[in-house]
Structure 1
Amino acid sequence: MTFAETAYAKINLALHVRRRREDGYHELETLFAFVDNGDVLSAHGAERDSLETVGEFAANIDNPFGNLVMRALAALPREQGIAITLEKNLPVAAGLGGGSADAGALFRIVEALHSLPDDWEARAARLGADVPACLRSEMAIGRGTGTDLEPVKNDLAGTPVLLVNPRIGVPTGPVFKAWDSEDRGGLPDGTARQIALAGRNDLRDAAISICPQIAGVLSVLSETGCWMHEMSGSGATCFALYDSADQRDKAAEMLRVQEPDWWQMVGLLR
């Protein structure tokens, strides 16, 4: 039997960087949201673990066997191997949590085929700060390094969203190094929509200093009739939220004509 799981694209509707911790990580407060589109993992039982990568961005994975999917497989005890095919539809180093989303989908596949160990949350957190959130792919507030998750009233489920990337990879490390280290305060209270509208992305200016094209993407999105637009994570992907799918689709078509080299994906918030 073959199982398939979507590795839902992660976006940060708000991302507040508070301080640098003694362990070298940064204290974060973020509102995680997930799009009903992304990479796709297909899996079936096998004598040994294996991974095949296909799709538009498969060539961008430098070492398929050292990526988060294989590390997640190695982190989960099983009596049988699993053969995975990863359809890589999300750009790499894009602020969409692609590798973490893939690992989260892999955890869900193992849960369906076998079961997860009791300490699965700790195992997920060791793989990366975004992996616990991506495992369930449900809107949540993340604190600490992003692994401390809290529920939030999700009044944005079903919101049409457009993702746009100038096809430039932006590694996270240099963006954090370029951050101005100013603590501008924590997340506001309220529903997901209220937090998104009142929040901010503290890494935006740092990312633009490394990839100026991000500013161009945001400028174009601001003219598409969206009610919110922002950069996700550490960039370079930006998102726009719309009142209707028709508005979103018209914006996507406009961008296809105006900026044919940009990557884009449409979907709905989960």
Structure 2
Amino acid sequence: MTVPVLSAPLSGLVSGTAYAKINLALHLRRRRDDGYHELETLFAFVDAGDAITIAPADAFELIETGEFAAAMGPVADNLVTRAAVAACGTADGALPPLRIHVDKRLPVAAGLGGGSADAGAVLRLLGVGADRAQAIGEALGADVPACVVSQPMVGRGTGTHLEPLADHDLLGAGCLLVNPRVPLSTGPVFKAWDQIDHGPLPQGSARDILLNGRNDMEPPAIQLCPAIADVLAALRATAPVCARMSGSGATCFAIYDTPDAMAQAAAQIAAAHPGWWQMAGRLR
């Protein structure tokens, strides 16, 4: 039996965006005894991503459409399903009477927090209070708490300890996402890291951290997926503010100061590499 503990009952259809997550910088500090990694990162979000719609229903139904729907995995083990169950507080873990439609526009295993972004959007759309949503997010995965907020945050620990960013001087900056259409799982990239601590996350504004930071997962990811180096080279040839891999890859991003510069870069890369996936937006 469903025992809803939402902030407000869901009386009608609600919809929103599961914003693409990028890591403007990601510094790995050490591997912990529990097998997880201590890291420091600056999460940022693009104003584009998967589209989520939720409506009351007689029984739970997860509808998956879009280019990457087939990669979402079994319904019972999907982060969307788990977020909905946790949000509705079913005492026995029963599926809540909701119809959730995910238009899967973000590639899976791509460093964009796709599943985490979907889970965060579900928690927001179901009106779960901030503190409870963060607790649920931590139980679901390391990126989910940041994706619940979907605003720039400094993440520490495994990424779940969040601090607000004082100066978001990249708000509205153009962001071009490019993926060579090669999935890359996080585990092997962490395993291939050389375990050398190259220092902490820089301090300052978003731009300071972007320009003075790095992604320590980029070198091992390139070893496992050499196409990432090709994507980075193509992006850097468009003269962005900065181009870097996001998360554990294989998606890379480039930041531009003007919409025209981003549009020109998107057209240039699409013409040269028509098989690559790309998405353009602005930083939230």
Deviations 1:117-152 (A, max 9, x none): 853322110100000000010001000000000011
Measured after TM superposition, the shift of residue 76 of structure 1 is 1.9
Q: Check whether the contact 2:133–2:148 (CA below 8 A) recurs between aligned residues.
A: no
Query: Counterpart amino acid of 1:145?
Result: T
- CA gap of 1:78–1:126, structure 2 versus 1, over 3 A, is closer
2:277 alignment counterpart: 263
Query: Counterpart amino acid of 1:146?
Result: G
Partner Cα distance (1:64, 1:164) in 2 = 28
1:13 alignment counterpart: 24
Query: Counterpart amino acid of 1:235?
Result: G
2:233 alignment counterpart: 219
Q: Check whether the contact 1:232–1:238 (CA below 8 A) recurs between aligned residues.
A: yes
Aligned pair count?
267
1:184 alignment counterpart: 198
2:151 alignment counterpart: 138
Q: Give the TM-score, by structure 1 length.
A: 0.96
Query: Counterpart amino acid of 2:145?
Result: P
Q: Check whether the contact 1:76–1:116 (CA below 8 A) recurs between aligned residues.
A: no
Partner Cα distance (1:184, 1:107) in 2 = 36
Matches within 5 A, 1:171-250: 171-250=185-264
Measured after TM superposition, the shift of residue 78 of structure 1 is 5.1
Q: CA RMSD in A?
A: 1.3
Partner Cα distance (1:23, 1:99) in 2 = 24
- CA gap of 1:77–1:64, structure 2 versus 1, over 3 A, is closer
1:3 alignment counterpart: 14
Deviations 1:219-270 (A, max 9, x none): 0111112110000000000000111111101111111110000000000000
Query: Counterpart amino acid of 2:60?
Result: D
Partner Cα distance (2:131, 2:249) in 1 = 34
Q: Which SS does the other structure have where 2:121 is aligned?
A: helix
Partner Cα distance (1:122, 1:96) in 2 = 21
1:100 alignment counterpart: 116
2:7 alignment counterpart: none
Work out whether 1:59 is the aligned partner of 2:70.
yes
Gaps of 5+ in 2: 1-11, 91-95
Identical counterparts, % of pairs: 55
Gaps of 5+ in 1: none
Partner Cα distance (1:221, 1:117) in 2 = 37
Q: Give the TM-score, by structure 2 length.
A: 0.91
Deviations 1:46-100 (A, max 9, x none): 1222211000111122323311000111212358622100000000000000000
Q: Which SS does the other structure have where 2:126 is aligned?
A: helix
Work out whether 1:27 is the aligned partner of 2:43.
no
Please point out which of 68, 78, 89 is paired with 2:79.
68
Q: Check whether the contact 1:110–1:116 (CA below 8 A) recurs between aligned residues.
A: no
Work out whether 1:110 is the aligned partner of 2:126.
yes
Partner Cα distance (1:120, 1:106) in 2 = 10
Q: Which SS does the other structure have where 2:214 is aligned?
A: coil
Partner Cα distance (1:49, 1:146) in 2 = 31
